Each structure stands twice: as structure tokens, then as C-alpha cells.
């Protein structure tokens, strides 16, 4: 372990360019807000006398692609309020013409021109909201946590899946555009005693792919970072919104056919259900769902899996997305104790009916966030009824650090009674350190699982540290998964090893050491080249029983980022993989599995992405090199054409040629996914998604029409069709050997948002 020690010394010794101190930033950036003196009409005109007298936030700073300089993009922001709404007016000067990706809500907002407000109502820098609008009046809302991550990393602190009712209107002129916004206090979670909120304003400008903020943020952090908010100072703290209850009933009907059953099964269904949101306090919210229906959710994206393990598909059901960080941000990516797709979905993504769901989330005190969830599924021919429960807490300590814990419980039920010997439970405690300047992160945690007749080797733990400076970032992380550790309500990767000879899986506990080093050079002037990044990662997995290596990889990467989001990257990967048991990547039963031994390979990956400002865009990725005992030749292409602002037409294509030689065989895999998105207006959208994947032997059609006939109220018409497509994927010529329908469905659904 001497290498992690030397790396830690390097992290501690490294210094970076000084920026505005987050601890004093609210002393320098303050905006006073006063009660409106007349009625505010949301029309984008700003004719009310209140707007003439309101304080102005202006003189924005550049956040990306460089920092430390005043923005030349002039922006003026004012705020006011009444008993029911928080109002924002933004005058955005711009003579370059608007660039937008879509007229659909949330559609490509951060790749469009736009204005957004960031709110931290409890001013604890741990969780908040953002609301944005484009020059065409397209709205975006998202929840934000205190850890949005460094720019260029995979941040988990921003969730634009959160939806709520608020109002915005824009007007456009030759040299500027105006956004007028009204956010109901019912939408926000805040402390009635606080007269100071955290606030920031963001301008996105796609003519030069830049982001501009009122309260300055270093370039290495995202524009929504809560650590750098200014102060919104109220003349009097807003009172709790009255009657803060929302009911969202739905009705749906469906017609479906299952062609895989003989004879074909035809089903006509009708269902009703209800979602509700109840503000228990101004900062604590109860969500209720009864007989939920997720038929309008877009189908999962089919991907080619070239690993020996399961992949984790993203959650897309709205009920599970709001405030999900309070349940999901435990463990790490390969070992998440809570993964909502384990509730109401089987291993193939098919729906299991949910009877009800209850979720309580929010701030119990200014420093304590809590989450409680309970859900019940119905029994079916293949599954017992299940009850799922989770309780979590996040206690803010030492400024921005957090002590947090969780308990999860899956309990089988039969005839209304709990089955005492059929359960899976987990309990864990974690500590996340985050420095006040956001440059140091550290974490440690322990998770224990409980299953019948298992009393040892049933735990997981982690420890790590990260330094994220202006130019340099580095990470050291270690976690260990014991052999009898289970996550019945979560996701656990790389523990089940498949034996192709015996057709069974064997659990093998493992430990993982990961470290990375990244150095980014930002261009100081507005040049075509924004930044260069040099990075190296090392990852080693070892068996718990004898510490032999399961895998080891060294990756070196060089990435060039240009104006307009163009990028070019080169990546070299040396990888060592040990097969504990024979395994095959081919589909031909005549091929022998690869023998259980260690394989060392080298591969090169090159990726280019075109200018995102252009109507026609593309991304090309090549993968060349060794793959276990053979070779892999891979090509991925993504194409898109945008007709501003109403249409996006695109397709993605992936090709992988795996060659292992005799007697292990070969396999050629294709996937193609055309997608069309048309916005007839800001309220009427049509999306059609086609997917063909030779690995899954499936061709899928998903076509969805959505009409937003009232705020947050929709009519959906969804058509889905699946076909079995078998091909000869070992030959040089592409041949379809079998084609036929699997299942087909047409769904009609209406939901309406009532504010009570």
C-alpha cells in the first residue's frame, strides 16, 4: 500500500490558484428582496411599478470556459414576492440570436441559451433547487445537492427529473430577451424563520459555449454549485404556504397482445390511481402513490454488454426520482444499498404491480434531512407480494460535512402475512467530509446485511479521499465486499461469476483499490481550445480469500476540449482479467468457453465529438485492441440533426467484432437506435424511438405523444412493439434467420394536477 501513501502526500502538498472564499462570499454578494407593492402579471413585460423599484443583481462573472473575469454578457436580475409566489425578472442582453435544443420541458436546457436561478432556502449549502427558462419560454427545474462534483466528473447532485408547477413567460427583442418567473412557495421547502437564503443566477450562452454567474464560481466547479451562492436577504421571512396539498389522479386504458404465448393472449385493461403531495411542514414533504401507473415512461435504452456482469440501467419512473439522493447516495457505484429499480420491476425490466407507496422527505431541522419510504407490491404467478421499507438520515456537521445512515428491509408476504424466513435487510452508517472551499472530499462507511441463516462475511466498507482543485484532481478509494453480503433492495456488481460449463454463478467476495490523477490546463483567453486534460487511472480488484488479482487496469487519457463542446480524446488501456471459471462471449453452442486463466490485453480508444452549436452533430468512437484471448474491433457513431426549435432527428449505431480464434469462436454484434423528437408547440410533443440489438435479439418500437393541456397535466398516447430478431452474428454477411412479434401494446393515459 505504499503507492496510495505517496499519492496522498502529493495531494496534501499540492496547492492551487486562489479564488473567492466561499466562507465570505455572501458578505460580498447580496440581493435585497421586498414585498411587491402591486399585482405581478407574468407576461414578460415588467411593466409593474414594483419592478422599477426592485434591487438589481448584475455584473456577472464568467464561470466557463475560463474564470476570474467579468462577463461581457450583460444581465439584470430583480426579485420580489407576495403571499403565494416568489417572482424573478431577468433581462438578458444578447445580439447573437437564440440557440435552443427543443421546445420540450427540460429538453437540452444546458445546451441552449437560457437563464436560471439557483435557490438554497435553508442556506446550509446541502440541498436546493434550480429553475430555468430559455428565450422560447421552455422551462427546466431540478433539485441540487451540496455535492454536484467537479466539472468533467460524473456528478450525482443534480436531478432534472424533479417536476413541479411554476410559471414563466418570455419576450424577445433584437438585442435582449426578458424572462419573468413565478415560483409558488408551495413548490419550495424552506425554513419560516430564515431571512437569508442562498441564491445565484446563471446565464448559458451557446454562441461561444459559455456559462456566466452572478456570484463567482471557480471554473472547476459547475454553475449550480451551492457552495458559492450569494445572499438573498428578505425584508421579512416568507410564511408557510397555506393549503399545500397536491392531488394528481390518473385514468388509463390499454390494449395489449402477447404473441409468445400459444395461443396469443389479448388483454384489455383499465385502471385508475392517484399521486399526492402533502407539505407536512414548510420543509418536509409527504408523497403518496396509490396503484401507480408508469406506462408513459420511455423504454429502457438497449446497450451492448461486453462485460461478464450485469449492467445498471437508470431509473425513469417519476415517483422514485424526486429527492432520490437522500435514499441513493450511499455506498458507491458498484454497491448501492438502495436501487429503486428493485421495486416493481423484475430482472428483465417488466412491471410488477405496485399497490401503494409512501415517501416522506425533507428537512426535519435546518441541519437534518430525513427520508422514509414504504412500498407494497402485489403477488403474481411468478412472485410473492413484497413490502419494501427504507429509512435514512443526513445530519449536517462541521459546515458542509455529513453523517448519514440508512436501514432497508425487503419482506415477502403471502395471504397478507409476512414470511419470517424470506427477507433481506441492510443497515449502514457513513461519514462524508467536504471542506468549506469544496476542494477536499473524504468518505468512509460501513454496511451490514441480514439474511436468514447467514451470520458471517456479510458486510461492506469503504474509505477514500479526493482533492479537486482548479487544475489538479486526484482520488484514492478502497472498498471491500464480503462473500455473503447481499443487497435485496440495492445493486451489487462483480460478485457473481458465471461458470459456463456448469451453467451456474458462484459468489466471490472482493476488494477494490482505485486511484486517479487528472491535470487540466484551462485557456486563459477566449480561444478555440478551452482546455486540455491529462488523466491516469489505476484500478485493482482482489479476492478476499487469497488476495489474488481478479482484474487490474491502467488507463491513460488525453482530452482536448474546444469551443462549442467539440472534443477529441485518446485513451490507452492495459487490462488484466482473471477468469475464475470458463466463460463465453459467443452465442454458438459449438464454441468452447474461454478457459479459466489470466488474460493481459492492450487497447486504444479514440473519440471525437463535433460542435454542439451546429444543426448537424456527430460523435465517433473507435475501440481497437485485445479482448481476453482475442481481439475487439469496435465502432460507435451517434448522429443528430436539429431543426430549431421544434425538431431533433438522430440515430446511434454500435458495431463490435469479437474474434477469439478456434475453438473459441467469434461474434459480431450490432445495435442501431434511431430517435425522432418533434415539438409542435411548448405543450405538444411526439417522440418515436426505434431500437435494434442483435445481442438482445430484439427490435423495439416506442412511440409517444404527450399533450400538456394544463400546467403539469398531461394526456399520453403510447404505442410499444417488440419483435424477436435472430441473426447469424458469426458470419461476414449479415443474415436474419428468424423474425416475429413478441408483444405489442397501446396505452392511453390522462393525469391532472389539482392544487388544494
The reported pLDDT for the residue numbered 11 is 43
Whether residue 230 sits in one domain with residue 287: no
Cβ atoms within 10 Å of 450's Cβ, excluding its own: 16
Q: Contact 390/489 with Cβ under 8 angstroms?
A: yes
Bridge-based pairing of strands 30-35 and 75-81 is parallel
Whether residue 315 sits in one domain with residue 174: no
CA distance 411 to 419: 7
pLDDT of residue 50 exceeding 90, the answer is: yes
CA distance 753 to 358: 18
Whether residue 187 sits in one domain with residue 328: no
Q: Which domain holds residue 368?
A: 283-296+311-459
Whether residue 219 sits in one domain with residue 70: yes
CA distance 55 to 72: 21
pLDDT of residue 738 exceeding 80, the answer is: no
- Cα angle 628-630-635, degrees, rounded to a multiple of 5: 95
DSSP state of 59: -
Average pLDDT over residues 287-294: 92
Q: What are residue 558's phi and psi, to 5 degrees?
A: -130, 125
Identify the band that residue 18 occupies on the pLDDT scale cut at 50, 70 and 90.
very low
- 81 falls within a domain: yes
Residues, the chain, total?
Answer: 756
**Which residues share a beta bridge with 459?**
448
- Cα angle 190-195-198, degrees, rounded to a multiple of 5: 65
- 125 falls within a domain: yes
The reported pLDDT for the residue numbered 598 is 96
- 402 falls within a domain: yes
DSSP state of 150: B
- 512 falls within a domain: no
Whether residue 228 sits in one domain with residue 339: no
The whole-model pTM stands at 0.86
Whether residue 343 sits in one domain with residue 203: no
Which of 125-129, 220-224, 299-303, 335-339 ranks highest by mean pLDDT?
335-339
Residue 672, SS3?
A: strand
Average pLDDT over residues 11-15: 40
Least confident of 58-67, 393-402, 486-495, 721-730: 721-730
Whether residue 289 sits in one domain with residue 229: no
281/421: higher pLDDT: 421
User: What tens digit of pLDDT does each residue of 456-514 get?
Assistant: 999 999 999 999 888 999 999 999 999 999 999 999 999 999 999 999 999 999 999 99
Q: Which of 193, 209, 234 is the last residue of a domain?
A: 234
pLDDT of residue 342 exceeding 80, the answer is: yes
143/182: higher pLDDT: 182
CA distance 570 to 535: 11
CA distance 432 to 465: 10
Q: Which of 414, 436, 459 is the last residue of a domain?
A: 459
**pLDDT more than 90, % of the chain:** 65
CA distance 613 to 275: 39
Whether residue 391 sits in one domain with residue 288: yes
| H helical segments located in 30-115 | 49-53
Whether residue 230 sits in one domain with residue 290: no
pLDDT of residue 329 exceeding 80, the answer is: yes
**pLDDT more than 70, % of the chain:** 95
What is the per-residue DSSP string for 301-332? PP----SSS---PPP--HHHHTTTHHHH-SSB
pLDDT of residue 754 exceeding 50, the answer is: yes
CA distance 465 to 454: 32
**Mean pLDDT for the chain?**
90
Alpha-carbon distances of 181 from 91, 167, 188, 243, rounded to whole Å: 12, 6, 14, 22
CATH of the domain at 104: 2.60.40.1190
pLDDT of residue 114 exceeding 90, the answer is: yes
- 620 falls within a domain: no
The reported pLDDT for the residue numbered 9 is 41
The reported pLDDT for the residue numbered 667 is 93
- 327 falls within a domain: yes
Distance of CA 118 to the CA centre of its chain: 18
- 146 falls within a domain: yes
The reported pLDDT for the residue numbered 13 is 41
- Set of cell numbers at residue 554: 491502467
Distance of CA 35 to the CA centre of its chain: 37
- 658 falls within a domain: no
Identify the band that residue 731 occupies on the pLDDT scale cut at 50, 70 and 90.
low
User: What tens digit of pLDDT does each residue of 513-522 get?
Assistant: 999 999 999 8
User: What tens digit of pLDDT does each residue of 344-373 get?
Assistant: 988 878 889 999 999 999 888 888 999 999
Q: Which of 410, 441, 459 is the last residue of a domain?
A: 459
598/241: higher pLDDT: 598
Question: What's the structural domain count of the chain?
Answer: 2
397/148: higher pLDDT: 397
Whether residue 210 sits in one domain with residue 353: no
Whether residue 287 sits in one domain with residue 204: no
The reported pLDDT for the residue numbered 156 is 63
- The answer, yes or no, to whether the previous bond of 171 is cis (omega within 30 of 0) is no
Q: Which residues of 701-719 are buried (b: 16+ CB within 10 A; e: fewer)?
A: bbbbbbbbeeebbbbbebe
- Set of cell numbers at residue 15: 496547492
Whether residue 25 sits in one domain with residue 109: yes
The reported pLDDT for the residue numbered 320 is 85
Amino acid at each position: 500500500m505504499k503507492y496510495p501513501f505517496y499519492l496522498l502526500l502529493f495531494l496534501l502538498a499540492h496547492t492551487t490558484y486562489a479564488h473567492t472564499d466561499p466562507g465570505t462570499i455572501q458578505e460580498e454578494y447580496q440581493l435585497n428582496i421586498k414585498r411587491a407593492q402591486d399585482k405581478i402579471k407574468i407576461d414578460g413585460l415588467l411593466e409593474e411599478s414594483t419592478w422599477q423599484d426592485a434591487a438589481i443583481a448584475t455584473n456577472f462573472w464568467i464561470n466557463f470556459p475560463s474564470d476570474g473575469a467579468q462577463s461581457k454578457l450583460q444581465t439584470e436580475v430583480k426579485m420580489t414576492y407576495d403571499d403565494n409566489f416568489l417572482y424573478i425578472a431577468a433581462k438578458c442582453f444578447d445580439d447573437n440570436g437564440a440557440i435552443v435544443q427543443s421546445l420540450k420541458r427540460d429538453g437540452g436546457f444546458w445546451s441552449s441559451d437560457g437563464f436560471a436561478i439557483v435557490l438554497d432556502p435553508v442556506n446550509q449549502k446541502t440541498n436546493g433547487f434550480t429553475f430555468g427558462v430559455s428565450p422560447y419560454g421552455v422551462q427546466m427545474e431540478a433539485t441540487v445537492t451540496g455535492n454536484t462534483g467537479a466539472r468533467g466528473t460524473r456528478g450525482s447532485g443534480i436531478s432534472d427529473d424533479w417536476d413541479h408547477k411554476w410559471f414563466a413567460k418570455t419576450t424577445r427583442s433584437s438585442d435582449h430577451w426578458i424572462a419573468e418567473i413565478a415560483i409558488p412557495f408551495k413548490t419550495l421547502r424552506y425554513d419560516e424563520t430564515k431571512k437569508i437564503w442562498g441564491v445565484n443566477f446563471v446565464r448559458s450562452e451557446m454562441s461561444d459555449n459559455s456559462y456566466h454567474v452572478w456570484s463567482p464560481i471557480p471554473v472547476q466547479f459547475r454553475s449550480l454549485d451551492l457552495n458559492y451562492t450569494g445572499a438573498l436577504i428578505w425584508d421579512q421571512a416568507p410564511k408557510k404556504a397555506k393549503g399545500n396539498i397536491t392531488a394528481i389522479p390518473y385514468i388509463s386504458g390499454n390494449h395489449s397482445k402477447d404473441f409468445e404465448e400459444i395461443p396469443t393472449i389479448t388483454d384489455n385493461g383499465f385502471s385508475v390511481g392517484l399521486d399526492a403531495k402533502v407539505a407536512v411542514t414548510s420543509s418536509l414533504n409527504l408523497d403518496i402513490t396509490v396503484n401507480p401507473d408508469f406506462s408513459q415512461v420511455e423504454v429502457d435504452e438497449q446497450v451492448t454488454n461486453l462485460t461478464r456482469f450485469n449492467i445498471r440501467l437508470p431509473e425513469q419512473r417519476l415517483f422514485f426520482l424526486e429527492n432520490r439522493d437522500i435514499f441513493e447516495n450511499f455506498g458507491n457505484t458498484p454497491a448501492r444499498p438502495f436501487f429503486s429499480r428493485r421495486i416493481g420491476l423484475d430482472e428483465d425490466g417488466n412491471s410488477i404491480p405496485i399497490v401503494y407507496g409512501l415517501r416522506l422527505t425533507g428537512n426535519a431541522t435546518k441541519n437534518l434531512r430525513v427520508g422514509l419510504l414504504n412500498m407494497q407490491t402485489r403477488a403474481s404467478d411468478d412472485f410473492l407480494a413484497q413490502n419494501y421499507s427504507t429509512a435514512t438520515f443526513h445530519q449536517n456537521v462541521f459546515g458542509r460535512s455529513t453523517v448519514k445512515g440508512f436501514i432497508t428491509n425487503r419482506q415477502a408476504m403471502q395471504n397478507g402475512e409476512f414470511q419470517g424466513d424470506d427477507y433481506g435487510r441492510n443497515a449502514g452508517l457513513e461519514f462524508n467530509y467536504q471542506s468549506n472551499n469544496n476542494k477536499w472530499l473524504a468518505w468512509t462507511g460501513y454496511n451490514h446485511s441480514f439474511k436468514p441463516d447467514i451470520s458471517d462475511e456479510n458486510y461492506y466498507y469503504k474509505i477514500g479521499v479526493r482533492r479537486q482543485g482548479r487544475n489538479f484532481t486526484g482520488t484514492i478509494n478502497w472498498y471491500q465486499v464480503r462473500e455473503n453480503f447481499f443487497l435485496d433492495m440495492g445493486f451489487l456488481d462483480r460478485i457473481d461469476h458465471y461458470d459456463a460449463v456448469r451453467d451456474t454463478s458462484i459468489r466471490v467476495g472482493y476488494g477494490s483499490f482505485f486511484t486517479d490523477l487528472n491535470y487540466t490546463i484551462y485557456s486563459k483567453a477566449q480561444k478555440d481550445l478551452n482546455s486540455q486534460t491529462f488523466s491516469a487511472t489505476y484500478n485493482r480488484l482482489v479476492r478476499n480469500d487469497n488476495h489474488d488479482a481478479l482484474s487490474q487496469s491502467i488507463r491513460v487519457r488525453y482530452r482536448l476540449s474546444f469551443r462549442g463542446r467539440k472534443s477529441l480524446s485518446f485513451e490507452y488501456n492495459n487490462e488484466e482479467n482473471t477468469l475464475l471459471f470458463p466463460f463465453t462471449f459467443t452465442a454458438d453452442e459449438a464454441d468452447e468457453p474461454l478457459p479459466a486463466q489470466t488474460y493481459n490485453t492492450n487497447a486504444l480508444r479514440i473519440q471525437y465529438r463535433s460542435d454542439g452549436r451546429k444543426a448537424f452533430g456527430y460523435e465517433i468512437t473507435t475501440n481497437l485492441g485485445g479482448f481476453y484471448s482475442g481481439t475487439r474491433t469496435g465502432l460507435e457513431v451517434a448522429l443528430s440533426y436539429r431543426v430549431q426549435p421544434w425538431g431533433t432527428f438522430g440515430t446511434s449505431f454500435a458495431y463490435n467484432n469479437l474474434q477469439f480464434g478456434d475453438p473459441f469462436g467469434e461474434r459480431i454484434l450490432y445495435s442501431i437506435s434511431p430517435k425522432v423528437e418533434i415539438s409542435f408547440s411548448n405543450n405538444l410533443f411526439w417522440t418515436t424511438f426505434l431500437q435494434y440489438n442483435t445481442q438482445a435479439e430484439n427490435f423495439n418500437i416506442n412511440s409517444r405523444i404527450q399533450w400538456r393541456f394544463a400546467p403539469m397535466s398531461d394526456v399520453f398516447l403510447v404505442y410499444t412493439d417488440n419483435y424477436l430478431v435472430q441473426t447469424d452474428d458469426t458470419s461476414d454477411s449479415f443474415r436474419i434467420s428468424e423474425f416475429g412479434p413478441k408483444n405489442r401494446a397501446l396505452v392511453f393515459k390522462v393525469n391532472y394536477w389539482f392544487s388544494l
